[in-house]
Structure 1
Amino acid sequence: MAGCRGRVSSTFVCGGADLMRILDRKPTDWTVNWRRTLPQHERMRRRSFLMGGLALAASSTLLPELQTAAHASPAAGPPAAPSQVLSDMQDPRAWTLSSRDGSIRPDTSTHSHGNQSLEITTTGDSGRPTSADLSLPGIDMTDCQWDLWLRAEDYQQIESIQLELGGEGEDCLRLDVAPDMRTLRTGTWCRVTVNRAAERSVVGHPRLDRVMRVRLKVVPASDSAPSRLWLGYLATLPSAASGIVSISFDDGYDSDYKTARAILQDCGIGAATSYVIADKVGLPGRMSTAQLAEMRERHGWDIAAHASTDLTTLDEAGVRRELETIRSFLLEHGYPEGAAHFALPMGRYNDLVLRTSQDYFTSMRTIENAPETLAPGDPFRLRVFYCGSYTTESQVEKALARCREHRCWTHMVFHRIDEQTDGAPESIRADSFERFMRRVADSGLPVKTVPEVMRSQSPALA
């Protein structure tokens, strides 16, 4: 064992191969620290292995697929072995253009798996989408999730990305692959997992027990320019056993302590997660250190990491200072579990933020509105049900129904819970919040804090 910056590290050599795994012990769990010793595509390949294992039984071509491309989140490894690899993009004849407009072609200049991807070029006209079809022998998809690797040249040029599952005719189930297109904002490879909670529409009576055609349809945004989207990988994943709800609060407002806590207790909901900003703790309108301690020790809340500075405006040194500040604050005050989880300020991130955050945390939460899968495909781009003064009880009811039926993670994010709101979009009236929480309690769904969910969904390292 050798120390590194006050942490305990250990080195393993596996199978006589030239594989060096440096395990860096954080206060909460073991995480992999290859960032300074290996190129990024190799870091990602090994993290993918540890996050879910090799799916060797699914396809004889899977070993080349593990050679993943640079800039994708190294933590975006499979949560479980794929049920079936549908396409690794290595056969240039597998996909065919099924739309009148746009174009597709194999592209060896960028790839998430193997040595090529499928490039899809849009028309720039929202009325003329580009569609690519993959023929299948008839696969049972009645109880699965879908795993896609995507890269967008410019996400703002795309209105929607739809995955259609059908047979020989036009009957199909249509899913929104990226309900919030900001998921593809970095322009780098992004792992996106979806399930039927992202259902957009159903045409006719599709037989999901015998899917013979998969179609990826890319719809351009209005008044957009032609742009490119790359598909690097498509597979199915097992569905979760149950949906999960999480209740989280940003910014550390004292309404977490004074109002939200009591409402949750009255509704029989055990605990929530409060993402706090280190330099705001103790200020007027924010929780004090004593209140944070009571929330954790007496009421079971998790206290997690947040910040107020737009990290996308900083260089790497500035990003690291911000992340080190909040992580150190939480560790010094006795919140090691929450210190592993970070909520992005204003939900903003770029490739630098995405990469750097993984030196400090095991999950990163966005404000991108979409049902999250269990397990999350990428723990550093967690998607949420973002709630504000505009949120209705009907929307909450529908989200919970989807969570129960399709077994996803409904992560409800709030800010201030006020007796009387000041009109700010992040302020929610206490009586509205109570109705929302009654709906959660009545749903029968398990309610867990973010650290609890991530512990249950991330396989332990051997």
Structure 2
Amino acid sequence: MKRRTYLTTATATTALAVAGCTSGGDDDPDNDSDDEFGEFDDDEPSEAPPDLAGTWDDFESLEEWTATKGSMEADTDRSVTGSQSVRLSAGSDARGRIVKSLSSPLDCSEVVPGLAMASESSNAPAIQLWDENGHKAQYRQQTDPENPFVRRNFGLSKMGGEVDLSRIGEIHIVHWLGDDHEGDLWVDDLFFAPRSENGQVMVQFHGGYESEYETAYPILDEHDIPATTFVATDRIRTSENAEGDRLTREQLDELSSDGWTVGSYANRGLRLLDFDPEDREAEVRDAAAWLEDNGYGDGARFFAFPGGQFDEVAYDAVADQHDLAFAGRFPAQGYAANPHLCTRVTNPDPETAGNLVEWTAEVGGITSIAFTHVDDSVAASIDSLASSITEHQEAGDLSLISPAQLADEYVF
């Protein structure tokens, strides 16, 4: 039996701690299907198609899907693959759920699901893989109304019970809204991406603040952990005497020479949505040019969306300029089915920072952990993170991953 065929109850505490930090009100609704999860016998062998990775359902037909909460309809005006998408509307309880029951058990033990999606409100839809015994693995990603309708990398946020990923009997797509939200969800291109067997972690800092050098760097250096700093290039200081709280060129050079990646946080490090469309493109383009011109050409391939926010103009500008970009939430994604929206978890507290590493080591996949302003409380999180990474590296079930490795080896 492969190591991660089962997600066991031994990881339940970690999963709940991770989900509670990253999901923003993850009140998973009760399952609404019948007691049989899948339309097959217990002894029927699992399907493990060699081409499972890739588009699994393009929603050209909805005959095999059932809305058990809210309603669904085909929408021929919006699609990513084929001629239509699914428009999912929540019911009176602010929940929507569509279910596909499988005629043969599906082996999902080496993949992570994802979707293309768009929404009328900010929420975090879920894809749930239910095994034949009614245990589920839950994958989620954040979506906001300004986001374009594109593929999104989902992360494994939670599991319920001892989930046998090699015998999945139902696939659920869940759309639930908080008390103050309303709006529909569009989904298309349900896909599977390969999952790295051993867990991999990336440490990031967003903004290029001097505290990254003064506080975070010594902690990580003690554990021989290089990180990535995404810098607002127009705010880099020429010397320590220059006004501001950002890194100096000398500090940036030292981090780079010690193995850190220097990527882009746009020119001024402000939300791209706050600029006019043409200025959004300039913010992205000018920052990449600065990195190229100042000796950080390798890092110019990589971008983090300021505040994690983007619309179609910002997304297209970044996709045209960079090989890899980060936004969204949730840990343990698979290979990047969309390299310009790799997921990350931001500013975990010390306990959650350690739990994120433990969770990734247990379930596999790739987790990027990002910090913004580094103060004493964040230093405690970085110390917890570094200690946990070292522990699991020594155990052989976790490794570090850089943006270059992700872009060159783990894009699907």
TM-score by length of 2: 0.77
CA–CA distance in structure 2, aligned partners of residues 403 and 217 of structure 1: 23
In the other structure, the counterpart of 1:30 is: none
Structure 2 residue corresponding to 1:405, chosen from 353, 356, 362? 362
**Counterpart residue identity of residue 130, structure 2:** L
Q: Would the aligned equivalents of 2:118 and 2:145 in 1 still touch at CA under 8 Å? A: no
Structure 2 residue corresponding to 1:199, chosen from 158, 165, 174? 158
Q: Would the aligned equivalents of 2:147 and 2:310 in 1 still touch at CA under 8 Å? A: no
In the other structure, the counterpart of 2:197 is: 241
Task: Specify the SS of the correspondent of 1:96.
Answer: strand
**Counterpart residue identity of residue 341, structure 1:** F
Q: Would the aligned equivalents of 1:177 and 1:194 in 2 still touch at CA under 8 Å? A: yes
- How is 1:46-195 mapped onto 2 (pairs within 5 angstroms)? 82-83=52-53, 86-99=56-69, 102-126=70-94, 129-138=95-104, 139-152=106-119, 154-156=120-122, 158=123, 160-167=125-132, 171-178=134-141, 181=142, 183-194=143-154
Q: Would the aligned equivalents of 1:241 and 1:407 in 2 still touch at CA under 8 Å? A: yes
**Counterpart residue identity of residue 280, structure 1:** R
| Deviation, structure 1 residue 338 | 0.6
Q: Would the aligned equivalents of 1:155 and 1:185 in 2 still touch at CA under 8 Å? A: yes
Unaligned runs of 5+ in 1: 1-57, 60-79, 422-426
In the other structure, the counterpart of 1:77 is: none
Task: Specify the SS of the correspondent of 1:383.
Answer: coil
Structure 1 residue corresponding to 2:176, chosen from 214, 219, 222? 219
| Deviation, structure 1 residue 280 | 1.5
**Could you give the per-residue CA deviations for residues 22-61 of structure 1, whole angstroms, max 9, x where no partner exists?**
xxxxxxxxxxxxxxxxxxxxxxxxxxxxxxxxxxxx99xx
**Counterpart residue identity of residue 250, structure 2:** A
Q: Would the aligned equivalents of 2:124 and 2:140 in 1 still touch at CA under 8 Å? A: no
Residues 336 and 217 (structure 1 numbering): CA distance in 2 closer, same or farther, change over 3 Å? same
| Deviation, structure 1 residue 201 | 2.9
CA–CA distance in structure 2, aligned partners of residues 432 and 213 of structure 1: 38
**Counterpart residue identity of residue 410, structure 2:** Q
In the other structure, the counterpart of 1:13 is: none
In the other structure, the counterpart of 2:34 is: none
Task: Specify the SS of the correspondent of 1:400.
Answer: helix
Structure 2 residue corresponding to 1:450, chosen from 400, 403, 408? 403
Q: Would the aligned equivalents of 2:88 and 2:185 in 1 still touch at CA under 8 Å? A: yes
In the other structure, the counterpart of 2:331 is: 371
Structure 1 residue corresponding to 2:263, chosen from 293, 304, 313? 304
Q: Would the aligned equivalents of 2:353 and 2:382 in 1 still touch at CA under 8 Å? A: no
CA–CA distance in structure 2, aligned partners of residues 85 and 301 of structure 1: 35
In the other structure, the counterpart of 2:208 is: 252
Residues 324 and 92 (structure 1 numbering): CA distance in 2 closer, same or farther, change over 3 Å? closer
Q: Would the aligned equivalents of 2:136 and 2:163 in 1 still touch at CA under 8 Å? A: yes
**Counterpart residue identity of residue 383, structure 2:** E
**Counterpart residue identity of residue 350, structure 2:** E
**Counterpart residue identity of residue 111, structure 2:** C
Matched, 1:264 2:203: no
| Deviation, structure 1 residue 287 | 2.1
**Could you give the per-residue CA deviations for residues 165-215 of structure 1, whole angstroms, max 9, x where no partner exists?**
243x7x13041422xx3x3433532323335x322534xx66543323222
In the other structure, the counterpart of 2:230 is: 275
| Deviation, structure 1 residue 354 | 0.7
Q: Would the aligned equivalents of 1:250 and 1:275 in 2 still touch at CA under 8 Å? A: yes
Residues 278 and 268 (structure 1 numbering): CA distance in 2 closer, same or farther, change over 3 Å? closer
Residues 346 and 107 (structure 1 numbering): CA distance in 2 closer, same or farther, change over 3 Å? closer
CA–CA distance in structure 1, aligned partners of residues 177 and 292 of structure 2: 46
CA–CA distance in structure 2, aligned partners of residues 119 and 357 of structure 1: 28
Residues 124 and 255 (structure 1 numbering): CA distance in 2 closer, same or farther, change over 3 Å? same
Q: Which moved more, 1:408-417 or 1:334-343?
A: 408-417
- How is 1:14-25 mapped onto 2 (pairs within 5 angstroms)? none
CA–CA distance in structure 2, aligned partners of residues 409 and 84 of structure 1: 18
When Rg is computed on C-alpha atoms for both structures, the one with the higher figure is 1
In the other structure, the counterpart of 2:378 is: 428
CA–CA distance in structure 2, aligned partners of residues 220 and 414 of structure 1: 27
Task: Specify the SS of the correspondent of 2:245.
Answer: coil
- Identical positions, percent: 20
Residues 437 and 176 (structure 1 numbering): CA distance in 2 closer, same or farther, change over 3 Å? same
In the other structure, the counterpart of 1:313 is: 274
TM-score by length of 1: 0.69
Residues 449 and 92 (structure 1 numbering): CA distance in 2 closer, same or farther, change over 3 Å? closer
In the other structure, the counterpart of 1:341 is: 302
CA–CA distance in structure 1, aligned partners of residues 98 and 381 of structure 2: 44
| Deviation, structure 1 residue 357 | 1.6
CA–CA distance in structure 1, aligned partners of residues 139 and 112 of structure 2: 13
Task: Specify the SS of the correspondent of 1:248.
Answer: strand
Unaligned runs of 5+ in 2: 1-47
In the other structure, the counterpart of 2:33 is: none
Q: Would the aligned equivalents of 1:142 and 1:208 in 2 still touch at CA under 8 Å? A: yes
Alignment RMSD: 2.6
Q: Give the total of aligned pairs.
A: 353
CA–CA distance in structure 2, aligned partners of residues 458 and 141 of structure 1: 19
* Structure 1 residue ranges (4+ consecutive) displaced by more than 6 angstroms after TM superposition: none
Matched, 1:293 2:250: no
**Counterpart residue identity of residue 106, structure 1:** A
Residues 342 and 441 (structure 1 numbering): CA distance in 2 closer, same or farther, change over 3 Å? same
| Deviation, structure 1 residue 353 | 0.6
Q: Would the aligned equivalents of 2:351 and 2:381 in 1 still touch at CA under 8 Å? A: no
